[in-house]
Structure 1
Amino acid sequence: MKIQIPRGTQDILPGTVERWQYVEKKARDICSRFNYQEIRTPIFESTELFQRGVGETTDVVQKEMYTFKDRGDRSLTLRPEGTAAAVRSFVENKLFGQPQQPTKLYYIGPMFRYERPQSGRMRQFVQFGIEALGSHDPAIDAEVIALAMSFYKEVGLKRLKLVINSLGDTESRTAHRQALMNHFSSRVNEFCSDCQSRLEKNPLRILDCKKDRNHELMASAPAIIDYLNEESKQYFKKVQAYLQAMDIDFVVDPNLVRGLDYYNHTAFEIMSDADGFGAITTLSGGGRYNGLVQELDGPETPGIGFALSIERLLMALDAENVELPIEQGLDCYLVSLGDGAKDRLTPLLYQLRANGIKADKDYLNKKLKAQFKTADRLQAKYVAVLGDEELEKGIISVKEMATGEQQEVSLTEIVDFLKRKI
């Protein structure tokens, strides 16, 4: 049987991977400016972490996790998202005890969800996310949103829409929860089996249902914003004021929810308005989760974060026809004529690379013309030609490919010559 790549995964090949490297480098750069530090957690974790950290009633936990037993009969799961693992590490390594607070973390890495593969949705996908743990200040909510928006804009996206909402504090959510139960209970049998089980456990999740999104009760469901107490209203006003002060445009959407019990106050999504991007317009989402650390056996610690898919970001860049400024090509390609020259190029090539010059040479014993074709294909800025006759004189012929200008340079000075030019 022919071995092929698993469904829902992809090979990212040279020529394409450079785009990934560019946006990942941009993510790391902007996190550094915002004073977020990278965290790297295991690819797989205890299944219980995601059951508690993502939520038993979510589609992710109920339907989409890659879960298996190891040889010790322990249940392990390939991570479906990054927040739970980051918070687990925050608790386990007692980062809450460090003097500098809040703890500001970011991660970039593969996640795994068993769902139907489609454009922009893979079973293995790469997620970039941040978590800010330890502050109740609405200013850090605005900071997290600002970082996400800044990242998208700096990679070149323009057709962006920021949608925000407030889920309120525990008191507000309790009142809203009861209102939702009253609203749906008499006709819940008209909804899917998942929604029927969610009514008692977490009625807010009903609003996220994909199967019943067009049911008439969805449109008339009570909005959380109508159940905010005064403290929650003031908190939300502060977040909006900070965003306005930073000239970040947004739309308040009372129907935007994050369905986990420990989410509260600020929730947001960033969407693409680009033509041809697709029916699913969401690029990223985030929110405040003031109960998650406690849920994972840590001390009472507020948190807020977001996560985005690199795959969907690249799709949005394509939809807006954004060309990333990726530097391509070699600085220098070495061409040899004769056995003596060929032997001399091997240490010279190493010397160039050791001095920060991107260089390569032929390893297939090609003719002179073919070596120049290779140099052209590799977009080399300079081609340096060494023959046995030049070797005897201690020189090498250097050609600038853009201008055609050619000159002879001492072999002892070629490194400094190219460093000056490049």
Structure 2
Amino acid sequence: MTPIDLTTPIELLRPPRVVFGAGAAPETGRWLRGRGLTRVLVVADAFNAARVDLLGLEGAVTVFADIKPEPDVPNLEALLAVAGRVEPQAVIGFGGGSAMDLAKLAAVLPGSGQTIHEVVGPEKVADKRAVLVQVPTTAGTGSEVGTRALVTDPATMSKLAVQSVHMLADLAVVDPDLTLSVPPAVTAATGVDALAHCVEAYTNRKAHPLIDLYALEGIRLVGRFLPRAIADGNDREARAGLSLASFYGGICLGPVNTAAGHAVAYPLGTRHHIPHGAANALIFPHVLAFNAPAAPVKTAAVLEALGLPPATEPAAVLDAARGWCLRLGCRMRLSEFGVPETDLPRMAEEAHAIRRLLDNNPRDLSREDILGMYRAAA
């Protein structure tokens, strides 16, 4: 893998205001009031819809709480219908990546004359229609800092990816205390999702020294704090460390993005409704090991940052990374999620078609390579 050097141009986008820290959630309402924004649409899952009061909102607040774990086009259309009725001045994503991704689209599509299919791809969104605030309640996706939104198209069983500067949050409020209620299994899966963002950006063909700094520190934070947060969900320092790791992972996604790990994991979510974090955890060791020959120095650095002995030989890398995930309690077999072996070739075909991610990978993957990973994880 030929490294990108410091002379290579790169653009780093972040929300113009970020508030980070325990107890920061009410800053959402204060910030909106300071701007005279009183007609608000909150996009949340059912659990977070029941605690919207933590945001300190006033005025006409509408809550859309019908968020699917892997949102699809009908789910988005139901939200857009509500947004079209409410005509919000501000949209708040309050939840995990699903809520925040849908909030991005609700801030740009209603009244624009554009449909979801017309804005798929980079920079096709016309403009921003409402102020966007993102408040994550899990530590995994980093969506609060990103400009991408993904929804599943039921007709093709594939992810529609929209990227636009107009979907960058005007305010991101990262309050780690909002993650204290996340159960151990979800903490593990979302933590490995944050890790995967950092690792895939760090070992990416487009990896850049500007982003490597965030990526490697994100990996270190996950290695240090994820086992602690799983062991004790009320460990506030560990929760804060993971929220920061997730935020760093989100920074990595903008200019560099993910690679084969996410591409290989996506069919697990679209076809079998395996939660995104759990799918990434299951696939992560296999892709890290596959890429080791193309990025040996960085692979060893990843393992070391996780507190594991550095290794570059694929079998040793696989054993180390898989053992680490198993110790976190992650389910590491497709059979544990009810994925039939007869579906693996079709999944490999679908994953191989996700060129926007696979083309970032430091090592080319064939359909057979992907099928081999699925079979090794079966």
Question: What TM-score do the two structures reach when normalised by structure 1?
Answer: 0.24
Structure with greater helix percent: 2
Question: What TM-score do the two structures reach when normalised by structure 2?
Answer: 0.26
